[in-house]
Chains A and B, each alone.
Chain A
């Protein structure tokens, strides 16, 4: 191989540069988010795992049912009625947008546009 003295160190430097994110962050790790759950409410409209995975879809479905089809009747879960609404239902238990919604959304770099129009509850005083 010609110029192996230059090529091999060059390749090593290249690989090191490309893998910077891996070894630079090695072991550092970021804390997974810890959304603050409501103290007084124990049940949600869906089991925790399901609501965690599909809440965005559920909210879209509720929106379309309520706003477009006019089907505004509350959903019945375990004998309790829940209005199909972000502001009138979800945020009544999860009273802090910052400590609940944003904790995961910021971590996952998701920017839902809910709060452009919908009003978040007044943040509880720390």
Chain B
């Protein structure tokens, strides 16, 4: 090679300059990303997570916790209806469990509530209430999904497109409510043949699933399966949160309700009367 000290120094100097310039460019880019993030925060997420306008439909649910405390069979009925409708598998191993709607204690559902320890009332300490996907108005799962496999319908339901799910589980990390479950194994063998609903698909290994607010029923003008299952008890009431004359809005007007972890800003569409 016929390089000499003079040429070497020229090249080294230019490289250093280019390197310094490069970092400056990177700094600019990073600063730009900061600005972009701030606007994202204001407009509530990426374009596929845009919240419904107040005039549009936003489906929500009210859960009357007291009723589930008094009658534990209500919860069983709701879970059974849900699992039968959507071919939810029943894994014997807790680690593989697939959860759409499930019963849990108050303190697990409302982790942001002050701990009352031994001053908690007996009923709340002993009984369980149903929890499921909150179908947030500002869903973090939708924002992180790299393939838009999970997305928000115009009517506020947060849906899943299993065709697109690549099983990265970003959504599971993003959901602060643990509403999502991953299919570690093929779920088919764990659905009893007699319980198979031939009008709805199962899932496959490697996709994330969750409660879909029975979108296939709701968008066909029916009520979600769990609401149908608890029937006249009105322990679960489903409706359009944006319609001031809907039943759900009447209940919200009359009763004091709470949401799960509202301080996170996810704007859950499921309300609990406690």
Binding site for B on A (CB under 8 A): 63, 67-68, 70, 72, 87-88, 113, 116-119, 121-122
Q: List the B side residues contacting A113 at CB < 8 Å.
A: 204
Q: Chain B, 153-174, contact with A by CB distance < 8 Å: what is the 0/1 string?
A: 1110001011100000000000
**B204 contacts A72, C-beta separation under 8 Å:** no
Partner of A116, one of B153, B204, B215: B204
> How far apart are the CA atoms of A118 and B163 in the complex, in Å?
11
> How far apart are the CA atoms of A70 and B202 in the complex, in Å?
19
Are A67 and B159 also in contact (CB < 8 A) when A72-B219, A72-B220 are? yes
> How far apart are the CA atoms of A88 and B219 in the complex, in Å?
16
**B219 contacts A117, C-beta separation under 8 Å:** no
> How far apart are the CA atoms of A87 and B162 in the complex, in Å?
16
Q: List the B side residues contacting A88 at CB < 8 Å.
A: 199
- Shortest CB–CB separation between residue A125 and chain B, in angstroms? 16
Q: List the A side residues contacting B5 at CB < 8 Å.
A: none
Q: List the B side residues contacting A121 at CB < 8 Å.
A: 198
Q: List the A side residues contacting B201 at CB < 8 Å.
A: 87, 117-119
- Shortest CB–CB separation between residue A44 and chain B, in angstroms? 21
**A119 contacts B196, C-beta separation under 8 Å:** yes
Q: List the A side residues contacting B202 at CB < 8 Å.
A: 117, 119
**A70 contacts B219, C-beta separation under 8 Å:** yes
Partner of B155, one of A63, A70, A87, A117: A70
B77 at interface by CB-CB < 8 Å:
no
- Shortest CB–CB separation between residue A13 and chain B, in angstroms? 49
> How far apart are the CA atoms of A72 and B87 in the complex, in Å?
21
B100 at interface by CB-CB < 8 Å:
no
Are A87 and B198 also in contact (CB < 8 A) when A68-B151, A70-B154, A72-B220 are? yes
> How far apart are the CA atoms of A37 and B198 in the complex, in Å?
21
Q: List the A side residues contacting B200 at CB < 8 Å.
A: 87
Given A63-B163, A119-B202, A122-B198, 12 more A-B residue pairs with CB atoms under 8 Å apart are A67-B159, A67-B161, A67-B163, A68-B159, A70-B215, A87-B200, A117-B201, A117-B204, A119-B87, A119-B196, A119-B198, A121-B198
> How far apart are the CA atoms of A117 and B198 in the complex, in Å?
11
Are A68 and B161 also in contact (CB < 8 A) when A116-B204, A117-B203, A117-B204 are? yes
> How far apart are the CA atoms of A87 and B196 in the complex, in Å?
13
- Shortest CB–CB separation between residue A71 and chain B, in angstroms? 9
> How far apart are the CA atoms of A121 and B199 in the complex, in Å?
10
Which residues of chain B in 185-225 are interfacial with respect to chain A, using CB atoms and an 8 Å cutoff?
196, 198-204, 215-216, 219-220
> How far apart are the CA atoms of A116 and B205 in the complex, in Å?
9
Q: List the B side residues contacting A117 at CB < 8 Å.
A: 162, 201-204
> How far apart are the CA atoms of A109 and B87 in the complex, in Å?
30
Are A87 and B199 also in contact (CB < 8 A) when A68-B151, A70-B154, A72-B219 are? yes
23 A–B contacts from the bound complex (CB under 8 Å): A63-B163, A67-B159, A67-B161, A68-B151, A68-B161, A70-B153, A70-B154, A70-B155, A70-B215, A72-B219, A87-B199, A87-B200, A113-B204, A117-B162, A117-B201, A117-B202, A117-B204, A118-B201, A119-B87, A119-B196, A119-B198, A119-B202, A122-B198
In chain B, what residue has the closest Cβ to A119?
A: B198
